[in-house]
Structures are given as C-alpha cells and as structure tokens.
Structure 1
Amino acid sequence: MFNLFSTLTRPFKIRRLKKEYNMLYGSSGTAAEQSLRRQMVYLQKKHPGRSEEWYLEKVVYDLKRDRGLRR
C-alpha cells in the first residue's frame, strides 16, 4: 500500500520541489530552469542511478545550505 501511495504522490512532490527551487533561485523562470537542469545533470553524473525526486531534493537542499537557509 505504501508503494502505491508513494508512486501516486511522486509527481506532486516533484512539481513542488521544482517550484521551491524556482522561488529560491530568485531569477527569471527560464534562468532558474536552466540552472536546475545543469544541477540535475551534474548530480546524475556524480550519483548515477538515483530517482528524479532524490536529485531534486539534493539540489534544493544544497541551495538552501549555500544560502544559509533552514528547512
């Protein structure tokens, strides 16, 4: 049952993480999308085999850490 719930909620979590990144990035939507894409490619090379959700969580976490923000 948990696996089904996780599968169903994943698209919503991915959208939320992308929106959070865009807000934290603080630039135009296009610039934020390009930056996110670069970060995702970098992490996929550094940590292959992870889920899209994991990469997004890592990118948002790193951005918050670098800017001195808390969760």
Structure 2
Amino acid sequence: MEFDNILLANSYAILEKKMFSQLHTTAKQRFHSLLKEKPNLFKNVPLQYIASMLGITPESLSRLRKMN
C-alpha cells in the first residue's frame, strides 16, 4: 500500500511538472530543455513522438532542430 502511494505521488509530480511546462514555457524552451536533459532521445525515438511529447507539430520540431 505504501509503495502504491509513493508511485502515485511520483506520477502526479511528473504530470504536474509536464503540465506546468506546457503552460509556461515556449516550444523552443521545451525543446532546448529536452535536448539538454536527454540528448540520446533524439537518436533513438522517432521525431513524431518527440514532437508530441513537446506539444508541437513535427514541422515545428523540424524548424527548431534546424535553428539549433
């Protein structure tokens, strides 16, 4: 039971952080943050999924990657 509560609290914290990020940062800021925190993600995950994680279109992600 205690493990369930810890797991639930951690999941909620992650969700809250993600929602705050979507509301209070620009796509460019989210892109740079993800690139800094998890650079290998861009090598191993299809770009359409990364764009979805960032809350932007694949075309917008492509423009951000070009500017970087």
TM-score range normalised by the length of the shorter chain: 0.3 to 0.5
Question: Larger C-alpha radius of gyration, 1 or 2?
Answer: 2
Q: Normalising to structure 1: TM-score of the pair? A: 0.36
Q: Normalising to structure 2: TM-score of the pair? A: 0.37
